Structures are given as C-alpha cells and as structure tokens.
Amino acid sequence: MRECIVAVDVGGTNIATGLVDLNGNVLHRGKRPTCAGTGVANILKRIIDAISEELEEAENQALEPKGIGLGIPGLQDSLGGISFSAPNLDPRWQDIKVPARIEEHFGLPAEMDNDVRCHALGEKLFGAGRGVDNMILITLGTGIGSGIFIDGEMFYGAGSCGGEVGHVTIAEDGPLCSCGNYGCVEAFCGAPGITRRAKEAIGAGRESRILEMAGEMEKINPRIIYEAAVAGDPLAQEIMDDTGKYIGIAMAGVVNIINPELLVVGGGVAQAGEMLIGRIRDEIKKRAMIKQAALVKVVAAQLGEDAGLIGAAMLLPTRKRID
C-alpha cells in the first residue's frame, strides 16, 4: 500500500487539507471555512471533521495514512505541541495541545508547527530551497513572517518564537505595529500597511488611478495597487517600489546575521513577482555586507498554496515520527 500523510493548513479564513505522499506529491486537496471566532471547540471540531474526510479519501485511494501534520497560525511551542494563542482563529484560543488532541482522536502520530515554518519546510524539501542548508523564506501577506533554516536545521529560538522578521524596526518613529512597537517593517509592508500608504497619499491629494480602479477608498488593496503600477500609475509604482525597498532594508540586516544562500519570497503580496522581488533583491545587494550580499540569491517561492500542506506533512518524517 502506498503511504501518505494527512496535512492540515489552518488559516484565519480556510482550513486547507490534503493527502501528501512521502515524496511531497499532493494526492488530494480539500478546503472548508475555518469559521474563525466561533469558539475553540467548534474550530477544533472543524479541524477533526476535515481530517476525517481526508482519512476516508485515503481509504478510497487505497492509501495508508501514517500520521497527521498540522500547520497552525499564532504563537506556539511547536516541538512541545502547545498552541499558546491564535488571534486569527479565536481570541479565546489559549494553550491548546492540538497535536495531542488529534493523536488521541485518530490514534495516529501528529506534529504541529506554525503556518510559515510549514511553508518554509515545504519549499526547502520540494520547492525553491531544494538542497539548500541555509535559507530564509519570508511570507508577505497580512503579516510578514519567516521560516529560517540554519545549517540544515529549522531555527526555533528559546521560546520557539524566533524568525519574526516582520517586526524588525525600520523607522524610529514609524506607524504603530500590531505587536505594539512603532515602525516595524510589517507596519509599512503588511497588506494593511501597503493599503494605508496608498490611502494616505490619495487623501493628501496625490493624483492616482488607484481610487478609480478600486471604485472606492475602502476597496483599495495591494492587488489593485500592483495592477495600477503595471498600468503605469506613478503613485502605485512608488508604493510598490517603497514596499520592496523597506522589506529589503529589513532583510539586509537579517541576511548579514544569518548569511543564507537563499531568500525565498512567498505569500499573497509576493504575487506581484519581479516588480517586488527584484526590488527586494536590489536593496539587499546594496545594503548587506559584501560576502553576504554576494552569496544570497533572492527568488520567488515555487509551490504556491501547496507549500503549507507539503511542509505540514513533512513535519512527521523530519521529526522522525514515521520512518
């Protein structure tokens, strides 16, 4: 019987699930709404229902499930299996031993990591980072997160909280960030920060097609700003250029410290492609120290939305929970 792992990638909007073989092939995909904010018990039930469906599908495809890999957002002790908080799922979500509950329910080994580290593990094993020992993957979306590999090993830090590259300060008196600090790169370049910069400029009277393309102020988002930039709108181009520059400023510092051979850029905002990634690359090359700048390649992620599922599945063989 062909072996597989049930993978779960829990986000604030959807619970994505899949069956992944040990070579990183996704054999089945499922998706259901997370119903964030409806209580811990309900969200856990939705995760369990989603896993049950994948196990049925495994039986239909004559696959042997070996374990369950979980990508869960928020602060957690990944290796200890405790999800401390996940405000995107529910404000009442606190200190949940998700893998233990899943193991108990299904009688299969379960492992958990945060969504961004799962994404990074997927890209390292089967995507842009194949064969690379020192790598940083950053995800650009509502927030800016990272998964970091140092000398081939996933980096966690003392409290399992390492890798928060979105909260590198780039401006002493910058805007307030969701973390409580001022001037974090995420406050400028997370999706709400990008949108805010556009609205502020338009509100201050800058000419731009962004508002016309969005229809109204409240509908402006990074995708529309990107499309306006492609269409030649100078303000949109300036916002995209600043976004790449600010991320590059933050990442030049990180690159100096970690000395990676690869920086992989993923997440929804990274769909802007080379317009953004090229600008990040230029700023890093300009600012990082000579050796570090020369060694690091800056590339787009390759696996798209599958990366989180593949990485969640691969937590089990990586942590030697299955052969």
Q: Could you list the residues that contact Zn ion (CB under 5 A)? A: 167, 177, 179, 181, 184
Nearer to Zn ion, 119 or 167 (CB): 167
Place of tokens 């909260």: 167
CB nearer to Zn ion: give 115 or 306. 115
Closest approach, Cβ 273 to Zn ion, in A, equals 26
For Zn ion, which is the closer residue by CB, 179 or 231? 179
Query: Rounded CA gap, 170 and 163, in Å?
Result: 16
Shortest reach from residue 164's CB to Zn ion, in Å:
8
Beta partners for residue 149, in sequence order:
135, 154
Question: Where would I find the H helices in the chain?
Answer: 40-60, 98-106, 115-126, 185-189, 191-203, 210-214, 222-230, 234-258, 274-287, 290-295, 306-318
159: three-class secondary structure by DSSP: coil
DSSP 8-state symbol, 175: P
CB of 24 to Zn ion, least distance (A): 33
What is the distance between the alpha carbons of residues 221 and 107, in angstroms, rounded to a whole number? 44
**Cα 291-246-129 angle, rounded to 5 deg:** 50
94: β partners: 85
How near is the Cβ of 246 to Zn ion at its closest, in Å? 13
Say which residues have a Cβ less than 8 Å from residue 6's Cβ, sequence separation at least 6.
17, 18, 19, 51, 54, 55, 58, 65, 67, 68, 69, 108, 313
Question: For residues 28 and 167, which CB has a smaller minimum distance to Zn ion in the complex?
Answer: 167
- Residue number with CB closer to Zn ion (184 or 303): 184
Smallest distance from Zn ion to CB 283, Å: 20
Which residue, 114 or 318, has its beta carbon nearer to Zn ion?
Answer: 114
In the complex, least distance from residue 188 CB atom to Zn ion, rounded to whole angstroms: 10
